[in-house]
Amino acid sequence: MLTLCVEDIVAATGAQLIAGTASICVKKVVRDSREVGKGTLFVCFPGDRVDGNDFASASIEAGAAAVALTREAPAGLLSQAEAAGCAVLRAAGDDPTEFLLRLAAEWRRRNPQWAVVGITGSVGKTTTKDMVSFGLRTCWRVHATSGNYNNLVGVPLTILSASADDQVVVCEMGMNHKGELSRLTSVVRPTIAAITNIGTSHIGLLGSREAIARAKSEIIEGLPASSAAVDTAVGPLSSRLVLSEDNDFSSLIEQQYCRPAGVDILRVGTSKEAAVSHGVIKLDKSGLPFFKLRFADGWSYEAKLTIAGTAAVMDFLFAMAICAYLGVDRKKAAHAIEQMPSAHMRLELRKLPGRPRVIDDSYNASPASMASALQVLSSLSCRGRRVAVLGEMGELGAESARLHGYVGAYVAAVSPDFVVWVGKDDAREMQEAALTMGYEEGRMELFPDVSSALSAVAPKLCQDDLVLVKASRAVGLDEFVRRVLA
């Protein structure tokens, strides 16, 4: 449990105490007023539709120990706070994000005993984070990122919700722009970190895959040099960065980032030289992968995952490398991860009586994850038709048309029985590329939005059909899944 006095918060963040006393103790930090209770610090985030400052009074009524405002206090608020024994702060520069980052950095500074795992990458971050957490919990007390709390707000909230009694903290760390991981890693100060891969997610914001690789490499700035062991709750540890052998930017990351920082690398992949590797991957009738897990010292294990497709195998290697490095029994960690269910809306296999079987991968999409999902669609057994419902991918910028075209061409190669494209210009790019590569026009339809796709397609789906649903979250294909299964 968090334990910080208002005096400590003011000193750490540069905020101004404008009501209440500095001795008030805070035990929880939230940004959602509905989560406020006794001992809570409510941080007011302004927004286009909802302004957290408007809920300061209600938070005081709900028992908040402190409120951090990001605009001038309205009339009567300070006297209300004084009467309730609640402290009121004004965040420095009225910047709630920087307030949270500074506060989380202070809580991390007060808990040097944590072994902290930082996980970033273009795809696979959440699955790897979940696998690492499942494996580590067989041996250690673990606190991990909830859901996808992986940005400049979510990561500090993850740190602030960790207890001093936790032994390992696992942080999923995302980014959209250069410099964001620098800010996050200075707060998290990981003991061991992983860059799962370098893909095309956010290429529209960063311009190129090399720029993405450099932005992801910022995580290394928070790692201590590997030459000196750090005392942690799980024993003395030297820092490591885990990379995959097939990462085509691994040389750049090693030479320009790891070596100058004195950080050693653990590699995972398929070769016997890798610290952790896998053998031939096979899929059962449900599309679940089974394979031999190998460590460089000769130890091996016949593994089978509960997540469909082959993409999760590499995530498993990352997780096993991290678990083993933190002293967890390999067999126990592998067995625990094998029991882990797929995450909601991430290659989640769903079936209800009288409805088609749905592969719900509607949470997000990139060209690489589109290809992986289509492989899963092809590999699963199916008595009816294999149907792909594919929407547009976001944040691809100037590369958008080209990358959507690649997906369309891949669809033609995989050749599902029927394809539904959802969207406008980029969806049309996928459709035209599929046609160019020989996919039959009569086996696909294009719709501008989810509503029109539902009206036309849902009534035609049968209970024996297997339906893949995938797009960037903004497309809203989760509504397609909900209605088809209703």
Q: What is the pLDDT of residue 147?
A: 79
Structure tokens at 451: 């509503």
Answer whether 4-92 and 348-485 agree in fold.
no
Q: What is the pLDDT of residue 309?
A: 87
Structure tokens at 309: 């497709």
Q: Report how far residue 225's alpha carbon sits from residue 230's, in angstroms, rounded to the nearest whole number.
A: 10
Q: Quick one: 111-338 is in which CATH superfamily?
A: Mur-like, catalytic domain (3.40.1190.10)
Q: Report how far residue 287's alpha carbon sits from residue 281's, in angstroms, rounded to the nearest whole number.
A: 11
Checking DSSP bridges between strand 264-269 and strand 240-244, what pairing results, if any? Answer: parallel
Q: Which CATH code fits 348-485?
A: 3.90.190.20
Cβ-based neighbour number of residue 93 at 10 Å: 11
Q: What is the pLDDT of residue 200?
A: 84
Q: What is the pLDDT of residue 206?
A: 86
Cβ-based neighbour number of residue 221 at 10 Å: 16
Domain layout of the chain by residue ranges: 4-92, 111-338, 348-485
Q: What is the pLDDT of residue 184?
A: 98
* Among 415, 381, 179, residue whose Cα is nearest residue 287: 381
Q: What is the pLDDT of residue 217?
A: 98
Q: Report how far residue 384's alpha carbon sits from residue 178's, in angstroms, rounded to the nearest whole number.
A: 46
Q: What is the pLDDT of residue 204?
A: 81
Structure tokens at 91: 């965040």
Structure tokens at 53: 């400052």
**Which phi and psi angles does 69 have, rounded to 5°?**
-80, 155
Architecture of the domain made up of 4-92: 3-Layer(aba) Sandwich (3.40)
> How confident is the chain (486 residues) per 10-residue block, as mean pLDDT?
95 98 97 96 94 97 98 96 98 98 98 98 93 98 93 98 98 96 98 94 85 97 96 98 95 97 98 96 90 98 94 96 98 97 88 95 93 92 96 94 96 98 98 97 97 97 97 96 96
**Which phi and psi angles does 264 have, rounded to 5°?**
-80, 160
Tell me, rounded to whole angstroms, the distance of Cα 190 from its chain centroid.
Answer: 16
Helical packing angle, 400-414 and 367-379, nearest 10°: 10
